[in-house]
Copies of this chain bind each other. A is one copy, B any other.
Amino acid sequence: GGIGSKLCGRLVVEKKKTAIIYLLPALDGDLKTMTFLQEVVDILLAYITESFDRETKVIDFHYPNELLQRNNWELQDEPETLDDILISCRATLKYAIKTAHPRYFNQLSTGLDMVGLAADWLTSTANTNMFTYEVAPVFVLLEYVTLKKMREIIGWEDGRGDGIFSPGGAISNMYAMLLARFKMFPEVKEKGMSSVPRLAAFTSEHVAAFNEMHQTGNVIRLREELSHFSIKKGAAALGIGTESVICIKADESGKMIPADLERKILEAKQKGFVPFFVSATAGTTVYGAFDPLIAISDICKKYQVWFHVDGAWGGSLIMSRMHKWKLDGVERANSVTWNPHKMMAVPLQCSALLVREEGLMQNCNQMHACYLFQQDKHYDLSYDTGDKALQCGRHVDIFKLWLMWRAKGTIGFEAQIDKCLELSEYLYNKIKDREGYEMVFNGKPQHTNVCFWYLPPGMRYMEDKEEKKKRLHKVAPVIKARMMEYGTTMVSYQPQGDKVNFFRMVISNPAATFEDIDFLIEEIERLGQDL
């Protein structure tokens, strides 16, 4: 790098009267700092107003190479002025995706809650780490209070149990798998997998099923990769291996078939595998299906297998009196993943892992780092949570959820969730018999996922089924690309199993309205009619 070839840094900094030198902690830096931060806030407030305005684009899309050209993004040896910094902030937001936009439906996490945002600004300002009570007294307490509340809602007696906020659902699921393995074979911690028989984990083939597509010449082959993305990733990382993740058949609407689970458990045992972990899903990524938790828990109990519920997406429905029945049986789980950053629209990231057994997380992950967790501290050490997880430092993800909960109350979250489900039912009713639409699965969706194909007029009466399929497969990608180029809306698509590319509409954005759903349909038809 060019570091070695320059004049003394400090001299240059002073000569150019640049960004950092007059800001706090500089002497008399207060005024300059307040002015600068206020200018940034003004930029952010303007961006927020714009984000909620339907007249603005969801995204000002540019291809990577083009975006690289559009601005100077390079890092230099020399500092910039504060004015340049403000320009960079504006440029970054200009090309950012407006995830708060009422017509942004692309991901499971959408929307921007104003109280959650305020809380996140406060979190950044407090700039601390969750590992000990000593360095994050309030946040550690709030995590304690909130996890207890979440466990009460799950249905665990007096909210007893344990838990942690982790960096996302995939890590929460991996932590659960780690606990399940440690519970059955505590010696794995010291001796590794060589001390353990071959393990088997089970999850629905439909759980966020994913596919790898190969285009070989003219032939489109769909190779089905069965099983959950994060469960497989976890198994690979933990040294269990993806082949030990056994996929359970799902019914037409994407729910795990309990009889197949029992069959596969027996089969695995016969082959010498030790079943240790079943991950049932409450709200699959693509279909939004809820596995039958009670039946699954009975099987787990019978075969003494850890019962995990991955409610990253659907767990929040337990906040709704109208929809919580979909999670019946979750109270029997050994562990539950629940991501408030999805259906509760808490700013990213906010993922909870709830664990029934107290003390297990500590035993599984602790290494007694005395420089952090001094046992002779002067306060109750049960609040030093850092040794419960693999991470040492842990980002403060709790405050935004806690403050939103205070602002809305449980009933506010309920109203918000109910409204999103109402919107998705509206969408479903609108398109299920509409010309040019085909539903990917029959019946009313259980979550806000509505999966459908749009058939452009020219394709509706095609005779050649294979040719039709092949052409249909290309429709959603083109419409999506056009959506992004116009910047009017965004919705996800994917293939699944033998089903070619279809749209997966999800609604988690509290800003969306019936009119936005109407708009989405009009836009798909406008952008797809010539295909």
CB atoms of B135 and A192 under 8 A apart: no
A321 to B393, Cβ gap below 8 A? no
**Which of A1-9, A246-254, A293-301, A424-432 is near enough to bind chain B?**
A1-9
Check: A93 CB closer than 8 A to any chain B CB.
Answer: yes
How many Å from the CB of A363 to the closest CB on chain B?
A: 11
Q: Give the residues in chain B near A259, CB-CB below 8 Å.
A: none
**Residue A436 interfacial (CB < 8 Å):** no
A235 beta carbon closer than 8 Å to chain B: yes
Closest 9 CB pairs of A and B: A239-B239, A192-B241, A9-B411, A25-B511, A193-B193, A120-B124, A193-B239, A19-B407, A167-B167
Which one of B68, B88, B348, B391 lies within 8 Å of A393 (CB-CB)?
Answer: B348
Chain A 482-520 interface mask (CB, 8 Å, partner B; 1/0): 001000000011111000010010000011000000000
Min C-beta distance of A402 to chain B, whole Å:
7
Tell me if A470 is interfacial: C-beta within 8 Å of chain B: no
Please, what's the 1-or-0 string for A230-254, where 1 marks a CB less than 8 Å from any CB in chain B? 1011111111111110000000000
Q: A34-B45, A213-B370, A365-B236 are in contact. Are A242 and B138 (CB under 8 A)?
A: no
User: Out of B111, B138, B233, which one reaches A365, CB within 8 Å?
Assistant: B233
Q: In the complex the two chains form, what is the Cα distance from A188 to B242 in whole Å?
A: 9
- CB-nearest residue of chain B to A399: B92
Instruction: State how many angstroms separate the Cβ of A406 from the closest Cβ of chain B.
Output: 5
Residues of B within 8 A of A528 (CB): none
Complex Cα spacing A347 to B399, Å: 16
A378 proximity list for chain B (CB < 8 A): 477, 480-481, 484
List of B residues within 8 angstroms of A267 by Cβ: none
Q: In the complex, which residues of chain B have a beta carbon less than 8 angstroms from the beta carbon of A118?
A: 36-37, 40, 85, 89
> Which of A120, A125, A230, A238 lies at the interface centre, i.e. has the most chain B CB atoms within 10 A of its CB?
A125
Contact residue among B41, B211, B233, B410 (Cβ-Cβ distance under 8 Å from A76) = B410
User: A1-B153, A286-B371 are known contacts. Are A138 and B20 too (CB-CB below 8 A)?
Assistant: no
Does A529 touch B at the CB level, under 8 Å?
no
A95 at the interface (CB under 8 A from B): yes
Q: Is the CB of B141 within 8 A of A64?
A: yes
Give A76 to B351 CA distance when docked, in angstroms: 20
A264: interface (CB < 8 Å): no
Tell me if A121 counts as interface (CB < 8 A to partner B).
yes
Please determine whether A190 and B85 come into contact, CB atoms closer than 8 angstroms: no
CB-CB under 8 A from A469, the residues of chain B are none
Nearest B-chain residue to A108, judged by Cβ? B393
A508 to chain B, nearest CB (A): 12
Minimum CB–CB distance from A210 to chain B (whole Å) comes to 4
A115 to B29, CA, bound (A): 13
Point out the residues of chain B lying under 8 angstroms from A480, CB to CB: 378
Is A531 an interface position by the 8 A CB rule?
no
With both chains docked as a complex, state the minimum distance between the C-beta of A524 and any C-beta of chain B, in angstroms. Answer: 17
Chain B residues, Cβ within 8 Å of A407: 18-20, 79-80, 82, 85
Whether A6 touches B145, Cβ cut-off 8 Å, given contacts A125-B48, A194-B241, A390-B170, is no
Instruction: Tell whether, in the assembled complex, residue A241 and residue B190 are in contact, meaning their CB atoms are under 8 Å apart.
Output: yes
Contact A168 B494 (CB under 8 A): no
Selected interface stretch from A126-134, A437-445, A459-467:
A126-134
Q: Decide if A138 touches B92 in the complex (CB within 8 Å).
A: yes
Given contact pairs A76-B409, A192-B198, A192-B239, a sample of 7 additional A-B residue pairs in the complex whose CB atoms are under 8 Å apart = A47-B125, A64-B137, A92-B142, A97-B126, A97-B136, A99-B127, A192-B240
Find out whether the CB atom of B374 lies under 8 angstroms from the CB atom of A128: no
Q: Please indicate the chain B residues that have their CB under 8 angstroms from the CB of A138 in the complex.
A: 67, 91-92, 95-96
Contact A37 B45 (CB under 8 A): yes
A20-B115 in contact given A368-B210, A371-B210 (Cβ < 8 Å): yes
Assess whether A370 is in contact with B210, with CB atoms less than 8 Å apart.
Answer: yes
| Docked complex Cα distance between A84 and B43 (Å) | 27
Q: Is A195 close to B, CB under 8 A? A: yes
**Cβ B44 vs Cβ A125 within 8 A:** yes
Interface check A392, CB cutoff 8 A: yes
Roughly how many angstroms separate A270 CA and B238 CA in the complex, as a whole number? 26
Are B44 and A370 touching (Cβ within 8 A)? no
A477 touches B376 (CB 8 A): yes
Contact B125 A112 (CB under 8 A): yes
Mask, A156-189, CB within 8 Å of B = 1, is 0000000000011111001000100000000011
**Contacts known (A61-B137, A124-B120, A319-B3); A74 close to B412, Cβ less than 8 A:** no
A134 to B483, CA, bound (A): 12
The answer to whether A19 touches B390, judged by C-beta atoms less than 8 angstroms apart, is no
Tell yes or no: A262 within 8 A of B by CB.
Answer: no
The docked-state distance in angstroms from the alpha carbon of A234 to that of B389 is 11
Closest-by-CB residue of B relative to A140 is B64
> A492–B371 contact, CB under 8 A?
yes
* Contact between A24 and B114, CB atoms less than 8 A apart: yes
CA distance A241 to B167 in the complex (A): 23
